[in-house]
Structure 1
Amino acid sequence: MPQTEIPGIGAGPRTRLRWWTELPLIVLVYACYSAGRLLARGDVSGAVDHGLTILRVEKFLHLNAEHPLNRLFTRESWIGVPADFWYASLHYLVTPAVLIWLFRSRAVHYRMARTWLMTSTFIGLIGFTALPTCPPRLLSAGHGFVDTMAQYSSYGWWGGEASAPRGMGGMTNQYAAMPSLHVGWALWCGVMLWRYGGTRTTKVLGVAYPLLTTVVVMGTANHYFLDAVAGAAAMGVGLLLAPHVLRGADRVKARFEGHGSLVAARSPDTVAPIVSAGCQTSAGERIPRQRESRIGSGAEPGASSTDAGDGAPAAAR
């Protein structure tokens, strides 16, 4: 049964991809994203106000699932510890693994999928900058949240500052909760697995991974439910923009390639046949006794030349 294309992530042009160009590009984008998160650190009091506003809106709409989930994760270590490992690691393992799988096995879809992911990531960075938000775990104790990663830090490599390794908490922005790119990236992985996996198992994983990630980010008190909704919305906007971004990148590439071809055509080392009366020869064809001149060789006008056929001076003819 043929699969239907998802708008925006259909098969792209069959360009030949090279891992040694793709890898630096992805590393550069992730480095810009990480640096942007650090530079987007806003006022702490403003971030706390934003977090409390989100919490009030959720309570008004009866969407506050964070409290019961957080109490469950705090009380049951057999749930809380795996959830902390999930939050601290899968975000950085599954997404690259899916990218590599697409690159190797679904190359015709890779460029559009990669562009969608990168575009959505930059949209998330705009959100961190415009709306710094305090996650539930950093609110005062009176709001009823427990930081499970701090509670279970002895089980893993992280300390009491998000998922950063111990002693490296200063290398992360703890107030970049809105939108949740843990959820956004998990949703992207889920769509890729569902669309291109080809087996029932991959389709089940494609549904389960983003749903479980949403539960984990709330249960560990790292995100509000509306953060997860915003993460999914960022991916939706990125999906709409990705074809335009890809076309723009292709136009820029074509312009540079065209400029390079023009420069090569004007190279002073170009050899051109001299043919009288505007006659042209085909590639590789040579007329007997035809003289050649190297463009830009610096020969003085009127200088004598030797005929290629009989070696007699031109003046003798």
Structure 2
Amino acid sequence: MPHADIAGVEATPRTRLRWWTELPLILLVYACYSAGRLLARGDVSSAVDHGLAILDIEKALYLNAEHPLNRLFTREPWLGVPADFWYASLHYLVTPVLLVWLFRSRTVHYRAARTWLMTSTFIGLIGFTLLPTCPPRLLDASHGFVDTMAQYSSYGWWGGEASAPRGLGGMTNQYAAMPSLHVGWALWCAVVLWRYGGTRLAKAAGVSYAVITTIVVMGTANHYFLDAAAGAAVMGVGLLLAPHVMRTADRVRSRFATQVATVGTATARTATAGSGDGAPADSGTPVTVGSGDSTSSIVSGGCQTSAGERIPRQRESRFGAEAEPSAAPQDAGDGAPAAAR
């Protein structure tokens, strides 16, 4: 049995994947994700209410990792500045690099890993749409959070509004905090490195990346702890759905290929039938004409003779009856029949 991939299904793709088809697909999915985040801007008051509700739930569960981490990053620039760079850049660098590495070096596992990532991303987009959430950094200062991205904005390219480049913060959805796909994508990277990295160093790097990312999103006040937990849950659901998504994609591709082949065959037959001398497509069937006990095949689409009919001046086969004279016999004048030739 072929080696199973991370989704528990056959890893080997039925057709060889090409970079010029994979790259547009990934760019299309990411564009849909970015556009969806932008279009899914909920009402600000609702987003704030959802953020406060998450804080209340965490208080009831005695979860309060965000406040101490945020105070630490705010007080210590040597921690806060690298954390902001981590949050603003690695999310968009590490994941694509690992996708390229899988495509080139672990091709047999690439399709399943890519499908898992994309499926989870779309699930996260549904979460942004249904549950717009105000991140801790945008809550009122009375709640005890400091926006480190704004505090250390002079160190990087981001502005005070978001981790986007300065001046482009208005083009992002700042209330897309639940779930945290920073954590979700980091978890995907960790699993990929753990399964396919091949060395202890790669496995350690994967685990460290996921853990540090989780700490960073809370310390910079961009996410709550429950946002991070939701990001991990989304990746789990995506992992379970990935095999079904791949099977559905295979069925659709197979059905489409069959329809294209059928249309192509019909077109070829029509072109072949119309490329002759004007005879209809079914004129190739021999037509049998009887003459006594002899038969002859006449292949003709436009002029066919019936049994016993003669075409003027047509001679019969030597194996048939005697040929009829081409003209009526002349009377000799005395009433006797003309002599046969």
Give the residue type in structure 2 aligned to 1:121.
T
Give the residue type in structure 2 aligned to 1:296.
G
- How much does 1:263 deviate? 1.5
Alpha-carbon distance between aligned partners in 2 of 1:89 and 1:230, rounded to the nearest angstrom:
22
Query: Unaligned 5+ residue runs, structure 1?
Result: 272-293, 305-314
Contact 2:7 2:242 in 1 (8 A): no
Alpha-carbon distance between aligned partners in 2 of 1:9 and 1:90, rounded to the nearest angstrom:
30
- How much does 1:9 deviate? 6.3
Whether 2:260 is the aligned partner of 1:300: answer: no
Report which structure shows greater RCO (CA 8 Å, sep ≥6).
Answer: 1
Alpha-carbon distance between aligned partners in 1 of 2:301 and 2:10, rounded to the nearest angstrom:
63
Whether 2:164 is the aligned partner of 1:164: answer: yes
- How much does 1:207 deviate? 0.8
Cα deviation per residue 1:210-262 (whole Å; 9 max; x = unaligned)? 11000000000000000000000000000000100111011111111111111
**RMSD between aligned alpha carbons?**
2.0
- How much does 1:14 deviate? 4.7
Contact 1:268 1:296 in 2 (8 A): no
Whether 2:73 is the aligned partner of 1:35: answer: no
**Corresponding residue number in structure 2 for 1:262:** 262
Give the residue type in structure 2 aligned to 1:147.
D
Cα distance change on mapping 1:204 and 1:9 into 2, 3 Å = farther
- How much does 1:59 deviate? 1.3
**Corresponding residue number in structure 2 for 1:65:** 65
Contact 1:48 1:133 in 2 (8 A): yes
Alpha-carbon distance between aligned partners in 2 of 1:46 and 1:129, rounded to the nearest angstrom:
12
Alpha-carbon distance between aligned partners in 1 of 2:25 and 2:33, rounded to the nearest angstrom:
12
- Listed as ranges, the matches of 1:102-141 within 5 Å are 102-141=102-141
Query: Unaligned 5+ residue runs, structure 2?
Result: 281-299, 303-313, 318-341
- How much does 1:55 deviate? 0.6
- How many residue pairs get aligned? The number is 283
TM-score, normalised via structure 2 length: 0.79
Structure 1 counterpart SS, 2:159: coil
- How much does 1:270 deviate? 7.2
**Corresponding residue number in structure 2 for 1:74:** 74
- Listed as ranges, the matches of 1:227-242 within 5 Å are 227-242=227-242
Contact 1:14 1:108 in 2 (8 A): no
Give the residue type in structure 1 aligned to 2:273.
I
- How much does 1:162 deviate? 1.5
**Corresponding residue number in structure 1 for 2:192:** 192
Larger Rg: 2
- How much does 1:201 deviate? 0.5
Give the residue type in structure 1 aligned to 2:120.
S
Alpha-carbon distance between aligned partners in 1 of 2:200 and 2:59, rounded to the nearest angstrom:
38
